[in-house]
Structure 1
């Protein structure tokens, strides 16, 4: 028994030494993997690769992006949750994850239990657009039409639980109206039917819709951030159009497996924050419709928890079920 107790003490002491702040400060000594639980070529993948190109300048080791899409981001996320908490496997997450906390009931992981927030990256505004045949030209017009004729207006999305769908549900909830949700399997079909007049409205990425707005193929109703989009500065926000405090963006951040040493988390946060604070990065992302985010790890933790609570309320109010 005494020998077993000694062995346990030695193991515990070894773990404590391995995870001590002094040891963690030597991190990283080998390449770091960023798992993106979304398909290659999308915004999450692109910004993960942007970080992977710049983080070596801050931390002296290479960063490698690995795409593991599937099951609404669950497959790749679960892989990170099951990885060693040593700072060498990170998750590029989005608010798809904070929505999934309530929407997807039988996930093999839990964000709060299995992850520690590291740093935010950026957020991108969406835009509410309408087919030209829709009589409403602004937010108040959409709300008036929807209140006078409940269920006569519909909106398309790229699928249940996606940021585009949740933007619509938040709009319905805060605006006190009923719009019919028409989910598609991806954004391309939704956009095609919007342009063809088969659906009335859609929340989509600003950068995706900017040319359609300028050509008059769709009407810009409002953007979804707290501030006007730099891409379409003449288009008002939903918030300033009368739905106070409305905000629905797509945001990205980094998380690590729970138990990752605080010193490693803080080093990563400082490195990411230096990148997202650089004027050239902010200007580049602004042209792409994205706004850089800078927070310490504790502030980002609160941001994630607040976002989980925000979408939980919307999901429960609208009784949304996962497909």
Structure 2
């Protein structure tokens, strides 16, 4: 009897140990301690504030702190590399932007990580297209008229961006290629000087986030011509998308996403994806994101997001190669 009792106890302990291990592996017990979310830009910017919004919501839902840690530097490479080399246990995550996940592989030959190999997507948090605007003195009222003018006067039209090799620069090169026009890129060091020269007519057009140009559109100083999202923007409902304007395959989406080191248990990824999907469904969250940041919530499907990332890497690689863009 004693041997049977001992055997029963050992069996129960073995089951309890492996059962607990299984629970942790399936994500049911996750998280059991604080989770760090690395943001690759400085505190106070839109990526930081949006990341903190989701972090607080996750903390409330999962009953463990989700803490934002800012690791800026080297065009976001420092923070991204830190997460890529972290333990794949679900306790170090990355708030990643478009450049980290889809553009950097084509721009940097010695990138210390491979986004496709080293990161496991969790969820696209938010997304937005950009809007092409022209200074009001330019005699065009639509993107079709802009294209016609560019073809009539090759090399005379230009567009300003906040910098070389930025997503805005790549978007301009994509539009130029798909529209079949000559369009001179004028890079600036940030949004402020680009806007200053645009509003004084030194440059003619620019590609920017909707919220940045909206005040100038309302004042009549800038004229919106086309939006690069898949559907029209809620704040500029009369502005057509590139597809509606007849420019095929010219969509350009910027996004923030949550990713984990590759090898993180799939069950943890699925748990986080499900919780974030709940957050994105909240009307107050959607309203705040649109009104304060001009962004919409990202797609919910994990498989769809993974496929989107693969397609974007290929798309931007073609743009970089065709345009000859190089990092300065």
Does the TM-score normalized on the shorter chain lie above 0.5? yes
Structure 1 window deviating more from structure 2 (176-185 vs 36-45): it is 36-45
Structure of greater Rg: 2
Partner of residue 300 from structure 2, selected from 289, 295, 304? 295
- The Cα offsets for residues 255-308 of structure 1, whole Å up to 9 and x where unpaired, read as 101111111111111111111122222233233421112323332211111111
Whole-angstrom distance in 1 between the partners of 2:109 and 2:61: 38
> Which residue matches 2:173?
169
Q: Any stretches of 5+ residues in structure 2 without a counterpart?
A: 1-16
Partner of residue 90 from structure 2, selected from 87, 101, 107? 87
Whole-angstrom distance in 1 between the partners of 2:30 and 2:163: 40
Residue aligned with 2:129, SS: strand
> Which residue matches 1:305?
310
Whole-angstrom distance in 2 between the partners of 1:79 and 1:188: 31
Structure 1 segments of 4+ aligned residues over 3 angstroms from their partners: 17-24
Residues 63 and 117 of structure 1: is their aligned pair in 2 closer, same or farther, counting only changes over 3 Å?
A: same
Partner of residue 196 from structure 2, selected from 188, 192, 195? 192
Deviation at 1:23, TM superposition (A): 6.1
Whole-angstrom distance in 1 between the partners of 2:25 and 2:39: 30
> Which residue matches 1:233?
237
- The Cα offsets for residues 66-93 of structure 1, whole Å up to 9 and x where unpaired, read as 1111111111111111111111111111
Whole-angstrom distance in 2 between the partners of 1:92 and 1:296: 18
**TM-score, normalised via structure 2 length:** 0.89
2:127–2:254 CA contact under 8 A, matched in 1: yes
Whole-angstrom distance in 1 between the partners of 2:117 and 2:308: 16
Whole-angstrom distance in 2 between the partners of 1:30 and 1:49: 18
Whole-angstrom distance in 2 between the partners of 1:160 and 1:35: 25
Partner of residue 151 from structure 1, selected from 145, 149, 155? 155
Partner of residue 263 from structure 2, selected from 250, 256, 259? 259
1:120–1:293 CA contact under 8 A, matched in 2: yes
Residues 163 and 317 of structure 1: is their aligned pair in 2 closer, same or farther, counting only changes over 3 Å?
A: same
> Which residue matches 1:202?
206
Structure 1 window deviating more from structure 2 (113-122 vs 235-244): it is 235-244
Whole-angstrom distance in 2 between the partners of 1:111 and 1:258: 9
Whole-angstrom distance in 2 between the partners of 1:294 and 1:127: 21
> Which residue matches 2:48?
45
**TM-score, normalised via structure 1 length:** 0.90
Whole-angstrom distance in 1 between the partners of 2:194 and 2:324: 22
Residue aligned with 1:92, SS: strand
Whole-angstrom distance in 2 between the partners of 1:285 and 1:275: 12
Residue aligned with 2:75, SS: coil
> Which residue matches 1:320?
325
> Which residue matches 1:222?
226
Residue aligned with 1:192, SS: helix
Alignment of 1:55-74 (within 5 A): 55-74=58-77
Partner of residue 75 from structure 1, selected from 55, 78, 98? 78
RMSD between aligned residues: 1.9
Structure 1 window deviating more from structure 2 (210-219 vs 36-45): it is 36-45
- The Cα offsets for residues 164-194 of structure 1, whole Å up to 9 and x where unpaired, read as 1111111001101121111112111111111
Deviation at 1:250, TM superposition (A): 1.4
> Which residue matches 1:28?
31
> Which residue matches 2:187?
183
Q: Any stretches of 5+ residues in structure 1 without a counterpart?
A: 1-13
Residue aligned with 2:203, SS: coil
Alignment of 1:238-249 (within 5 A): 238-249=242-253
